[in-house]
Amino acid sequence: MEKQIINSTHAPAPIGPYSQAVEVHNMLFVSGQIALIPGTNDLNMESIEKETKQVLDNLNAILHEAGMTFSNIVKSSIFLSDMALFAEVNKLYESYFSSEYPARETVQVAGLPRGVNVEISVIASR
């Protein structure tokens, strides 16, 4: 199995022992992204909209580095601190896709890294 590690300087550096993304057999597995602002250790948490946009922009930077776009995503996983945030997150999430949406699950979790409200990971295919 040949795998390629994908890292973008336009997305936050990993905060642990993992890669931003790994590509194998034309499949891209992107690690969960939170609202870290690239090049800093700061979080963009002014509102759930800004937090979600930062997460999606971070994903976009990693996809771009791999030569892909949101249209390549086949599966996404959304983790929320509270399901009451679902409608706001979903509205912004939808704006990043065309009508061919990926498969997805959205779950409420007990806690997320650095106390954020949303984390999203994706799988994309060439």
The domain of 63 spans 3-125
Which CATH number covers residue 12?
A: 3.30.1330.40
What is the full per-residue pLDDT of the chain (126 aa) written as tens digits?
A: 799 999 999 999 998 899 999 999 999 999 999 999 999 989 999 999 999 999 999 999 999 999 999 999 999 999 999 999 999 999 999 999 988 899 999 999 999 999 999 999 999 999
User: What is the number of domains present in the chain?
Assistant: 1
Give the dihedral of Cα atoms 11, 14, 18, 22; nearest 10 deg. 10
pTM over 0.85: yes
Distance of CA 32 to the CA centre of its chain: 5
